[in-house]
Amino acid sequence: MTHRFKGIANFRDLSHSSGGIIPPGRIYRCATPSEATPEDVDYILNKLNVKTIIDLRTTAESAADIGENLLRSHYTVIPESSLGRLNQIEHMRGTHERMLFHVPVLPSNLSFLRELSYSSRAKLAYYGVLGYTDQAHRIVGDMMVNLKLNGLYRLILKTSWKNILRTLELLSNPRNYPVMIHCTQGKDRTGMIANLLLHVCEVDEKKISEDYAHSEKELEPMRMNSEYMKRNFARAESLGLDMTSWMLSPIEAIEETHAWVQNQFGGYAKYMEWIRFSSVSQAFLHQVLVRTDQQNRSQPVTPAIAHADITDSDSPSILTPFDSPDIKMRVKEEQVKNALERVKLDEGVLIPDVPPPIPKRPPKNL
């Protein structure tokens, strides 16, 4: 990748992040491309040939972006309200070659409130009723300071599980590649998705942590630009937050997240099973990520929905590109399991609203 981006920060190929396990040109991560220059846009469209952009923010967040959003105009935008109809959207590929999906991966407001003590919640309600916005903002700001980055990542993984699942599903479709994933800084939400993808590809966890920490260097020009900070984070001042510190990516933050996932779930593979992204789905995604475009053309891979919970079909089917007897046996087992689970679900429910409780230790039967 020889192009030097002038309007997109924190841009890199996950091939580099994975140490070459993922082939070059499959999937990219970056900060918001809203200020991409015409040269940047031309490079993404005609050199990298990005077919799919996954914006891990709400449409409202995206609308608040600074810049001309030149890149966005070249893509058919799929809002978060349409994510439940991915099968129908897939049929649009013939006439809409490029698509931009909004898949908001962010903690809910309720999850933030739960981080407050009872007295702080009472004060927040009291100040809100009386219109004391400064005092209310200060309570929220203090909570964010105490939460820290690793606390934010825990909330993302716990409360944004549904759209993390949606994102993994989109990335399991080889027709969507090459893909570009971004949020605002390309560090936190994008970092969590990249973290999961690299774990799926069995990249060494030390290398995953180093890739996360690399964002700090990439974002340094933005942190040092007072005009940029004032323009993009005006609200942070009212909360008493120092956004320059929130734009750091200390390796301890991701290492503490790794430790938390290991303690709570028994590792990232078990976490993904907890959000309904089964072991078969993970194996499928692994193959999609590590196969080159040439391999996909010579041996087409049929997109799989290996978890019945999110398919639109009444009878779940599991399609896999593998010829391995071991994988075939796992697929059979998954089909039976999903069929049984489907019987228990109310008709028409695609994804349960609440996942099972977080296990205190890895379940012995998983």
Contact 205, 258 (CB under 8 A): yes
pLDDT of 130 > 70? The answer is: no
Q: Structural domain boundaries of the chain?
A: 12-108+160-231, 277-344
Q: State which H helix or E strand residue 184 sits in.
A: none
DSSP 356: P
Higher-confidence residue of 298 and 199: namely 199
Q: Please report which confidence band the pLDDT of residue 248 belongs to, taking 50, 70 and 90 as the band edges.
A: confident
Q: Considering the domain delimited by 12-108+160-231, tell me its CATH architecture.
A: Alpha-Beta Complex (3.90)
> Distance between CA atoms of 199 and 191, rounded to whole angstroms?
12
What burial letters (b/e) apply to 159-198, b meaning 16+ CB within 10 Å?
A: bbbbbbbbbbbbbbbbebbbbbbbbbbbbbbbbbbbbbbb
pLDDT of 202 > 70? The answer is: yes
Residue 102's beta-bridge partner residues?
55
Instruction: Look up residue 113 and give its two tokens.
Output: 């409130």
The residue type at 264: Q
Nearest to 221 by CA among 75, 62, 53, 7: 7
pLDDT, residue 151, reads: 85
> Distance between CA atoms of 323 and 330, rounded to whole angstroms?
12
What burial letters (b/e) apply to 276-304, b meaning 16+ CB within 10 Å?
A: bbbbbbbbbbbbbbbbeeeebeeeebebb
Most confident by average pLDDT, 22-26, 159-163, 238-242, 296-300: 22-26
pLDDT of 172 > 70? The answer is: yes
Most confident by average pLDDT, 93-102, 139-148, 317-326: 93-102
- Residue 32 to residues 63, 189, 215, Cα–Cα distance (Å): 11, 12, 13
Q: Please report which confidence band the pLDDT of residue 229 belongs to, taking 50, 70 and 90 as the band edges.
A: low
Report the relative pairing of strands 52-55 and 99-102 from DSSP bridges: parallel
Most confident by average pLDDT, 141-145, 246-250, 328-332: 246-250
pLDDT digits (tens, 9 = 90+) for 304-340: 444 433 433 332 233 334 444 455 455 545 544 554 4
